[in-house]
Amino acid sequence: MSILGIIGMVLIVSAWVISIDSVPSLRLSILYGLGSLFLTIHSYIIGDAVFLILNALSFSISVFNIYRGLRKKQVSR
């Protein structure tokens, strides 16, 4: 794990934390989640710890956003 990878990961995660108030569209969350899941698996296979952590966190956030999006739809009915 290089220092540049760690800095990049910290900046991206910081951006996610700042934007957590807004709920992205359900379609975007599903696509982002699937992409992140596949990239997590790929990162594991090639042994890239920075991208493994980053994509696993991204997948987790996407699952959370899918939950929030579905919940928001239920409340608005």
Task: Identify the band that residue 8 occupies on the pLDDT scale cut at 50, 70 and 90.
Answer: confident
Residue 29 near residue 19, CB atoms below 8 Å: no
Residue-wise pLDDT for 15-27, tens only, equals 888 877 888 888 8
Residue 61 near residue 17, CB atoms below 8 Å: no
What is the rounded distance in angstroms from the CA atom of residue 22 to the CA atom of residue 76? 16
pLDDT of residue 25: 86
Q: Which two tokens stand for residue 31?
A: 């696509």
Q: What are phi and psi of 21, to 5 degrees?
A: -65, -35
Q: pTM for this one?
A: 0.81
Q: Which residue stretches of 1-77 are H helix?
A: 3-18, 26-46, 49-76
